């Protein structure tokens, strides 16, 4: 026991002495929170639009005014001719050009129909979609007010939309759970795998293996500091999320921490597994980055919804632990779900953890033989 | 000059002998490109929804059919209990609940207003926004067609037609709103960045850790020769990977190449130097590979996130957009998109390219300066 | 070329409060085999690093091959060879490739390099493994190779840091024979070692304790002065009084 304690203390010391890594380890969650909280968003704000008004009458003026008043748009200029559009787009700042046909108001009164062309720079399809949707919405509002100015309430079916769990559509609510998963993967899997392979590379592993420490002691000793670091990081992120960014937390804290610990164990077991198949740090790092971190960021639903991916990738995402963890955390934080809803995902994570733990342990034992 | 030749020879030999490295240099970028391109999309494929139809009339069924006919909306559950429907939402089985109240058809016929509630799972705000706009659009369309039809039929008189403003969307450069077209140029940037940032600098730290750097420091090798020997091989590999990536983009993904490839390669060459110099700088302030990798990773992630790859720079608040001015990744992504997708030329990008060159020169100067053969 | 290969005067190196090398003053004659002894932590490696231009001194003066270590460090590097403690060969390159690389760095190329490389390989008996990766060679061979590469460019002085560490006695003997041969050609050999028996092979020996040179003479001179039967005894007597080093 004393040898084990000594070993663990040495591991902690080594990490604490590495100030550079520590600064990044603790600074990173904070900086990422700031980025995701403030900067990385899909919300549309102050998109620059230009107007080509071939009618220049009361109706077009009203609509243009409404557009300018909206938070989403910023009127950046007026064009005189269609030819100017191409150059404007090429310069890159304007994302939409709204074109009113000639005789707009007259056509509206006389024929009951008038046309507006919405030209979007669709190199970013998502932005284009959103911009179109917002523009459409503004024009539809105008149309509605045209059709029933006196009654106030237009006839027929009114769609009433209720946004559940995240009424303000804040991107930060979507990203925070993913952030937790990514950071845990980084610390618990990546750092652990590198730490263990470093011992191997430096030749210290053999020394450890012939010491009275049993193989599972060695692994636990190596892994313990990163577990502690992970927990500290999770707490930091949560505190920031709740108090600085007002991310809701509907569910039980205890349940959350249990699930978080489970995921940390999953990540740790993956880190140990990688270190058992890599011989030097560079390899361990590359495998962790390409095989673990990147898929976690891309395929787990962190930023891009899994439901938008083509079928083969959706299947692939089932193998990524973070995907399950994301469902768990998002449901706990935003929907207040409990184990009765999340038992399936929890089970999967547990199975993955046990599997990798078992395989790694076996590999380490084989080394001794 | 000869010295550099010998250095390059040694580096290339080492790179190609490193079994573990080779797949990373050549296979991983391709795999990344493929996976990333398909994964990185916000397209709505299918929206599973639950229906609570308290009216059970022809009209309500027609509305439901209209939703399903779009191909996006898939009816997953139907129930009379709103609670049960919401529970499906909680469980994540559906993304939307549509509640049709009793008396829809009647209210529609006599011209009064009636609410249909759409409860949308808004955890993913972006998707929710799209679902909302599609759903509302469908209902409004339906309202216009059916509403008038019904009123005219029942009252037998001509109801005044509501005014309509047609919105004609025109999507330039990417008419199908194809996500891949948008993402691939940016992903190519990421690929090139990974190679540039990680490999050169890491290599130097590795030599330091192993001890071979000391042997080199004792020789008459000049600093710039050593550094050139470390940067050039990976520069060549990075450019090569970019070329392969571009080939894939053109013939595999059918991305339009409106602009000049020469421009792309020139800018890429400059960009690679910037990123490599950054990696070099990191290597001069770290002692171990672990530190170097960690710091490099962190910087890369921040740059990529802020670079407008996944979320548009236009969505960022003012201060964040200012910060983008110092982000080489953002510049390169913008240039790639402008040149490839919109056919922009030197006239439009010369300023950005100059900024990149300036960054590269500065970073190189600082890191070469910091690199010392003699410790003081 | 002068008769003095290396001369130092009050050479000192401090790291913060810690004085690793304290006012070192000594001379090394051209062509001699100079043994630089000392316990772990005595300051040997630090001193050697200053003489090879890897570390700059805090104060004091030193000239290597007539060149000043402060202002002419890069020029010194052209005239010296170095074999570090870790042998610093590239494990993933072959014997031939290592020779070609280091030769090239020192300005040897073409037929001249080929000729020298052939000579070198034969002289250490490594012709058969020319194309084998260095990683596959046994320790003794690696070390022979590293030494030969360090003198490939005919330096004036060669610095060897624990060159025989971990190697069997037969190979050590062979190694010293090479060093005699090299010294016979006029190359000054500056070697640090832990093996006290090897100290007997040197022309002169210095013993560092706590950053200072406590003794400097021929092996016989030292044994007489300290009334010891072997250099080992001399060393132990001096090292006992040391404050630094292994506890």
Q: What is the pLDDT of residues B207-227, one digit of tens each?
A: 887 778 888 888 888 888 888
User: How near does any CA of chain B get to the CA of C174, in Å?
Assistant: 24
ipTM score over 0.85, yes or no? no
Nearest residue to A281 (alpha-carbon basis) of B289, B76, B180, C184? B289
In angstroms, the CA C227 to CA C215 distance is 14
Hey, are the CB atoms on B297 and A91 less than 8 Å from each other? no
User: How near does any CA of chain A get to the CA of B181, in Å?
Assistant: 7
- pLDDT bin (cut points 50, 70, 90) of residue C202 is very high
Which of the residues A46, A173, A282 would you substitute to probe the B interface, choosing the one with the greatest number of B C-beta atoms within 10 Å?
A282
Cβ atoms B216, B296 nearer than 8 A = no
Q: Is A363 on the interface with B (CB under 8 A)?
A: no
Q: Output the pLDDT for position C247.
A: 41
User: How near does any CA of chain C get to the CA of B187, in Å?
Assistant: 33
Cβ-Cβ contacts under 8 Å, A308 against chain B = 41-45, 127
pTM over 0.90: no
Q: What is the pLDDT of residues B70-110, one digit of tens each?
A: 888 999 999 999 999 999 998 888 999 999 998 888 877 77
Hey, are the CB atoms on A160 and B115 less than 8 Å from each other? yes
Interface of B with C (CB under 8 A): 2-3, 5-7, 9-10, 13-14, 17-18, 210-212, 214-222, 373-376
In angstroms, the CA B272 to CA B197 distance is 8
Cβ atoms B82, B54 nearer than 8 A = no
Cβ-Cβ contacts under 8 Å, A305 against chain B = 42, 124, 126-127
Hey, are the CB atoms on B41 and A309 less than 8 Å from each other? yes
Cβ atoms A357, A269 nearer than 8 A = yes
In angstroms, the CA A94 to CA A79 distance is 12
Q: Output the pLDDT for position A50.
A: 92
* Stretch C179-204: mean pLDDT: 88
User: How near does any CA of chain C get to the CA of B372, in Å?
Assistant: 9
Percentage of chain C exceeding pLDDT 70: 96
Provide the chain B residues 230-289 that lie in CB contact (below 8 A) with chain A: 285-286, 288-289
Average pLDDT, chain C: 87
Average pLDDT, chain A: 84
For B374, the closest of C54, C105, C109 (CB atoms) is: C54
* Stretch A152-164: mean pLDDT: 73
Hey, are the CB atoms on B316 and A39 less than 8 Å from each other? yes
Average pLDDT, chain B: 85
Provide the edge-to-edge strand list for the sheet that holds C67-68.
C18-29, C4-15, C59-64, C67-68
Q: State phi, psi for C59 to the nearest 5 degrees.
A: -160, 170
* Stretch B171-198: mean pLDDT: 83
Residues B65, B67, B73: CA angle, nearest 5 degrees = 120
Hey, are the CB atoms on B218 and C82 less than 8 Å from each other? yes
pLDDT above 90: residue B270: yes
pLDDT above 80: residue B113: no
Cβ-Cβ contacts under 8 Å, B217 against chain C = 53-54
Q: Residue B125's closest chain A neighbor by CA?
A: A169
Q: Output the pLDDT for position B361.
A: 95
Write down the residue that tokens 């990203």 correspond to.
A175
Higher pLDDT pick, B43 / A234: A234
Q: What is the pLDDT of residues A172-228, one digit of tens each?
A: 888 888 888 888 888 888 888 888 888 887 777 777 777 777 777 778 888 888 888
In angstroms, the CA A100 to CA A115 distance is 7
Cβ atoms C44, C36 nearer than 8 A = yes
Q: What is the pLDDT of residues B278-298, one digit of tens each?
A: 998 988 888 877 788 888 888
- In the 8-state DSSP scheme, what is residue B162? P
Q: What is the pLDDT of residues A55-88, one digit of tens each?
A: 888 888 989 999 888 878 889 888 888 888 888 8
- Region of B180 please: left (phi>0), alpha (psi -120 to 50) or beta: alpha
Q: What is the pLDDT of residues C125-163, one digit of tens each?
A: 888 888 889 889 888 888 888 888 898 888 999 999 888
Other CB atoms within 10 A of residue B76 CB: 16
Percentage of chain A exceeding pLDDT 90: 15
pLDDT above 50: residue B342: yes
Q: Output the pLDDT for position C189.
A: 94
Identify the burial level of B84 via C-beta atoms within 10 angstroms of its C-beta, where 0-12 means exposed, 13-18 middle and 19 or more buried. middle
Higher pLDDT pick, C194 / A248: A248
Cβ-Cβ contacts under 8 Å, B132 against chain A = 161, 163
pLDDT above 70: residue A369: no
Q: Output the pLDDT for position C244.
A: 67
Tokens of B233: 């091989």
Q: Output the pLDDT for position C246.
A: 53
Cβ atoms C81, C56 nearer than 8 A = no
For residue B279, what are the β-bridge partners?
Answer: none
Cβ atoms C95, C129 nearer than 8 A = yes
Nearest residue to A304 (alpha-carbon basis) of A171, A145, A186? A171
Q: Is A147 on the interface with B (CB under 8 A)?
A: yes
pLDDT above 60: residue C245: no
* Stretch C189-193: mean pLDDT: 91
Hey, are the CB atoms on C55 and B375 less than 8 Å from each other? yes
Nearest residue to A270 (alpha-carbon basis) of A368, A362, A192? A192
pLDDT above 80: residue B12: yes
In angstroms, the CA C187 to CA B369 distance is 34
Percentage of chain B exceeding pLDDT 70: 95
Tokens of B338: 């402008």
* Stretch A240-262: mean pLDDT: 90
Q: Output the pLDDT for position B114.
A: 84
Cβ-Cβ contacts under 8 Å, A66 against chain B = none
- Gyration radius of chain C over CA positions: 18
Cβ-Cβ contacts under 8 Å, B21 against chain A = 282
Cβ-Cβ contacts under 8 Å, C97 against chain B = 10, 13
Q: Residue B178's closest chain A neighbor by CA?
A: A125
Which of the residues C95, C104, C132 would you substitute to probe the B interface, choosing the one with the greatest number of B C-beta atoms within 10 Å?
C104
In angstroms, the CA B288 to CA B285 distance is 10
Q: Output the pLDDT for position B297.
A: 81
Hey, are the CB atoms on B221 and C105 less than 8 Å from each other? yes
* Stretch B120-144: mean pLDDT: 83
pLDDT above 50: residue A152: no
Q: Is A162 on the interface with B (CB under 8 A)?
A: yes
Chains A and B, touching by 3 or more CB pairs within 8 angstroms: yes
Cβ-Cβ contacts under 8 Å, B288 against chain A = 18, 198
Question: Helix axis angle, A171-184 relative to A215-239, nearest 10°?
Answer: 160
User: How near does any CA of chain A get to the CA of B56, in Å?
Assistant: 16
Which of the residues B15, B217, B374, B375 would you substitute to probe the C interface, choosing the one with the greatest number of C C-beta atoms within 10 Å?
B374
Hey, are the CB atoms on B120 and A35 less than 8 Å from each other? no
Which of the residues B169, B253, B342 would you substitute to probe the A interface, choosing the one with the greatest number of A C-beta atoms within 10 Å?
B169
For A335, the closest of B90, B139, B341 (CB atoms) is: B90
Hey, are the CB atoms on C56 and B9 less than 8 Å from each other? no
Cβ atoms A159, B119 nearer than 8 A = no
Q: Which residues make Cβ contacts (< 8 Å) with residue B201, sequence separation at least 6?
A: B276, B278, B279, B280, B281, B282, B283, B292, B296
The lowest-confidence range among C61-65, C192-196, C218-222 is: C192-196
Other CB atoms within 10 A of residue B14 CB: 17
Q: Output the pLDDT for position A151.
A: 47
In angstroms, the CA B337 to CA A36 distance is 24
For C84, the closest of B10, B215, B220 (CB atoms) is: B215
Tokens of C77: 């590097």
* Stretch B233-238: mean pLDDT: 91
Binding partners of C (≥3 Cβ pairs within 8 A): B
In angstroms, the CA A278 to CA A285 distance is 9
pLDDT above 80: residue A155: no
pLDDT above 90: residue C190: yes
Q: Output the pLDDT for position B132.
A: 85
pLDDT above 90: residue A288: no
Under 8 Å CB pairs connecting chains A and B tally to 329
Cβ-Cβ contacts under 8 Å, B18 against chain C = 92
Q: Output the pLDDT for position A257.
A: 92
Higher pLDDT pick, B45 / B163: B45
User: How near does any CA of chain B get to the CA of A366, in Å?
Assistant: 23
């Amino acid at each position: 026991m004393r040898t084990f304690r000594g070993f663990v203390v040495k591991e902690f010391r080594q990490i604490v002495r590495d100030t550079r890594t520590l600064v990044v380890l603790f600074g990173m969650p904070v900086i990422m929170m700031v980025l995701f909280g403030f900067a990385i968003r899909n919300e549309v704000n102050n998109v620059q639009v230009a107007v080509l008004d071939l009618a220049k009458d009361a109706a077009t003026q009203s609509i243009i005014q409404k557009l300018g008043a909206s938070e989403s748009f910023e009127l950046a200029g007026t064009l005189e001719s269609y030819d100017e559009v191409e150059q404007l787009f090429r310069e890159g700042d304007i994302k939409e050009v709204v074109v009113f046909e000639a005789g707009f108001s007259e056509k509206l009164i006389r024929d009951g129909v008038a046309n507006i062309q919405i030209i979007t720079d669709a190199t970013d399809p998502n932005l284009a979609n959103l911009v179109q949707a917002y523009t459409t919405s503004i024009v539809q509002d105008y149309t509605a007010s045209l059709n029933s100015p006196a009654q106030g309430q237009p006839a027929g079916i009114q769609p009433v939309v209720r946004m559940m769990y995240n009424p303000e559509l804040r991107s930060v609510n979507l990203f925070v759970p993913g952030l937790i998963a990514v950071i845990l993967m980084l610390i618990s899997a990546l750092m652990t795998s590198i730490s263990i392979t470093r011992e191997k590379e430096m030749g210290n592993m053999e020394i450890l293996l012939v010491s009275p420490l049993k193989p599972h002691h060695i692994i636990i000793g190596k892994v313990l500091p990163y577990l502690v670091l992970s927990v500290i990081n999770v707490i930091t992120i949560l505190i920031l999320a709740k108090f600085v960014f007002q991310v809701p937390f509907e569910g039980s804290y205890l349940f959350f921490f249990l699930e978080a610990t489970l995921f940390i164990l999953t990540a740790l077991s993956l880190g140990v597994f990688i270190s058992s198949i890599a011989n030097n740090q560079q390899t361990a790092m590359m495998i962790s980055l390409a095989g673990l971190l990147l898929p976690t960021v891309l395929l787990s639903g962190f930023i891009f919804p899994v439901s938008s991916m083509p079928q083969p990738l959706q299947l692939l995402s089932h193998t990524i632990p973070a995907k399950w963890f994301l469902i768990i955390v998002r449901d706990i934080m935003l929907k207040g779900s409990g184990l009765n809803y999340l038992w399936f995902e929890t089970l999967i994570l547990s199975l993955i953890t046990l599997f990798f733990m078992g395989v790694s342990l076996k590999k380490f034992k084989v080394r001794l033989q | 000059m000869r010295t550099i030749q010998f250095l390059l020879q040694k580096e290339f030999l080492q790179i190609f002998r490193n079994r573990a490295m080779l797949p990373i240099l050549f296979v991983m970028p391709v795999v990344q490109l493929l996976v990333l391109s398909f994964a990185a999309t916000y397209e709505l494929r299918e929206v599973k929804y639950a229906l609570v139809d308290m009216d059970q009339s022809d009209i309500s069924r027609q509305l439901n059919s209209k939703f399903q006919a779009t191909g996006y909306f898939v009816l997953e559950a139907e129930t009379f209990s709103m609670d049960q429907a919401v529970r499906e939402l909680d469980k994540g089985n559906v993304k939307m609940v549509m509640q049709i109240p009793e008396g829809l058809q009647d209210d529609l016929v006599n011209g009064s207003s009636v609410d249909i509630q759409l409860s949308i799972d808004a955890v993913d705000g972006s998707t929710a926004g799209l679902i909302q706009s599609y759903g509302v659009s469908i209902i409004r369309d339906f309202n216009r067609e059916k509403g008038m039809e019904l009123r005219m039929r029942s009252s037998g008189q001509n109801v005044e037609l509501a005014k309509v403003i047609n919105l004609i969307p025109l999507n330039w450069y990417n008419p199908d709103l194809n996500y891949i077209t948008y993402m691939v140029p940016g992903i190519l940037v990421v690929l090139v960045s990974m190679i540039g940032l990680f490999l050169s600098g890491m290599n130097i730290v590795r030599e330091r850790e192993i001890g071979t750097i000391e042997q080199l420091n004792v020789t008459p090798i000049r600093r710039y020769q050593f550094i050139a020997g470390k940067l050039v091989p990976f520069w060549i590999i990075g450019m090569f990977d970019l070329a392969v990536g571009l080939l894939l983009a053109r013939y595999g993904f059918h991305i339009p190449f409106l602009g000049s490839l020469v421009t792309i390669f020139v800018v890429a060459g400059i960009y690679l130097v910037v990123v490599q110099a950054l990696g070099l700088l990191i290597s001069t302030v770290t002692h171990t590979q672990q530190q170097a990798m960690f710091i490099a990773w962190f910087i890369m992630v921040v740059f990529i996130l802020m670079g407008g790859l996944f979320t548009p720079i236009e969505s960022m608040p003012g201060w964040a957009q200012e910060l983008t001015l110092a982000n080489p990744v953002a510049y390169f992504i913008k240039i790639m998109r402008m040149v490839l997708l919109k056919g922009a030329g030197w006239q439009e990008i010369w300023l950005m390219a100059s900024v990149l060159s300036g960054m590269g020169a500065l970073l190189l100067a600082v890191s070469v300066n910091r690199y010392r053969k003699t410790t003081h | 070329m002068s008769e003095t290969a290396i001369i130092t005067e009050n050479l000192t190196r401090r790291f913060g409060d810690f004085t690793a090398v304290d006012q070192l003053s000594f001379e090394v004659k051209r062509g001699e085999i100079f043994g630089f002894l000392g316990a772990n932590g005595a300051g040997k490696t630090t001193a050697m690093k200053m003489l090879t231009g890897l570390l700059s001194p805090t104060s004091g003066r030193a000239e290597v091959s007539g060149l000043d270590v402060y202002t002419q460090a890069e020029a010194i590097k052209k005239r010296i060879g170095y074999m570090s403690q870790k042998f610093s060969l590239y494990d993933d390159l072959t014997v031939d490739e290592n020779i070609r690389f280091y030769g090239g760095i020192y300005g040897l190329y073409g037929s001249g390099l080929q000729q020298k490389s052939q000579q070198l390989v034969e002289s250490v008996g490594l012709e058969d493994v020319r194309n084998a990766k260095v990683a596959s060679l046994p320790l003794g061979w690696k070390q022979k190779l590293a030494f030969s590469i360090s003198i490939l460019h005919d330096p004036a002085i060669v610095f060897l840091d624990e060159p025989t560490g971990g190697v069997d006695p037969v190979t050590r003997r062979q190694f010293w024979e090479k060093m005699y041969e090299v010294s016979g050609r006029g190359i000054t050999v500056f070697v640090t070692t832990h093996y006290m028996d090897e100290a007997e092979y040197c022309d002169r020996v210095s013993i560092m304790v706590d950053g200072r040179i406590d003794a400097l003479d021929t092996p016989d001179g030292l044994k007489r002065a300290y009334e010891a039967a072997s250099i080992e005894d001399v060393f132990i007597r001096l090292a006992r009084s040391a404050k630094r080093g292994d506890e």
